């Protein structure tokens, strides 16, 4: 993500530190560019997901 790019945050449960790297690994392995991290890099905010 370029400097000054989108920034977002959300209060999450203790499970999420394990959940997010799993998303990254699976999305990367499957070549899913618009996965959750791609969508955040494109400017989506976490409120769009919940």
Q: What is the pLDDT of residues 6-48, one digit of tens each?
A: 677 777 778 777 777 888 888 889 988 777 777 877 888 777 6
Q: What per-residue confidence (pLDDT) applies to 50? A: 59
Q: What per-residue confidence (pLDDT) applies to 47? A: 75
pLDDT at 2 over 60: no
Reported for 8-15, long-range contacts at CB under 8 A and 24+ positions apart, including other chains, are: 8/40, 8/44, 8/45, 8/46, 8/47, 9/46, 10/46, 10/47, 10/50
Q: What is the pTM of this model?
A: 0.47
Q: What per-residue confidence (pLDDT) applies to 29? A: 92
Q: What per-residue confidence (pLDDT) applies to 39? A: 80
């Amino acid at each position: 993500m370029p400097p000054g790019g989108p920034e977002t945050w959300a209060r999450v449960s203790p499970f999420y530190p394990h959940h997010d790297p799993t998303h990254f690994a699976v999305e990367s392995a499957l070549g899913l560019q618009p996965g959750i991290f791609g969508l955040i890099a494109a400017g989506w905010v976490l409120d769009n997901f919940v």
